[in-house]
Amino acid sequence: MRPIARSVEFKPWDLDDDQVRITFKGDLAYAALENGCYQLARPITCVLDGIDWFTIPAGFVTDFLSTPRWLWWWVDRFDPKWIFGACAHDYLYDQRCPVNCSRLDADCMLRDSGATTGASHINRILIYAGVRTFGGKYWRAQTGLPRGSA
């Protein structure tokens, strides 16, 4: 497993756009599945401060941004400001992901990816609050960690 570089520290409530720069390499190509999820047709690489951090393989299944349908007026799963970060977030939450990171790091990565795409500060705060509030159940199910684990 490849740990996050020691020089990088995600800070939960620091919204400084220059703090950590998350970008992505690759074209987003996917196929819709019958279960409402999507399968990547090509790999996507997450780049952290100019260094390739991890690559999401072709074939990975994601639902992109897991926003309830009643919130799609605000942000939907295909919002270009969030779609790459959401896919990477799903991958970091997946038990087969070879990257060694905490749930907090994964959630901060999603939030910080919005800074490079121009998402507003309020949207970044709300997306982050949503995954911190509701993502724990899925994280524990994937990692086998007990309730209350980060």
pLDDT in tens, 37-68: 999 999 999 998 888 989 999 999 998 887 76
Residue span of the structural domain in which 76 resides? 18-143
| 4 has a pLDDT exceeding 90 | no
Residue 5 lies in a domain: no
Residue 94 lies in a domain: yes
Residue 3 lies in a domain: no
Exposed/middle/buried for 58, CB within 10 Å: 0-12, 13-18, 19+?
Answer: middle
Instruction: Tell me the pLDDT of the chain averaged across its residues.
Output: 80
Q: Give mean pLDDT, residues 81-86.
A: 92
Residue, of 141 and 30, whose pLDDT is higher: 30
Distances (CA, A) of 67 to 86, 105, 139: 11, 20, 16
Within 10 Å of residue 10's Cβ, how many Cβ atoms? Answer: 19
Give the chain's domain count: 1
Closest of 104, 15, 92 to residue 46, by C-alpha: 92
Residue 1 lies in a domain: no
Residue type, 52: D
Residue 68 lies in a domain: yes
- pTM here is 0.81
Percent of the chain at pLDDT exceeding 70: 77
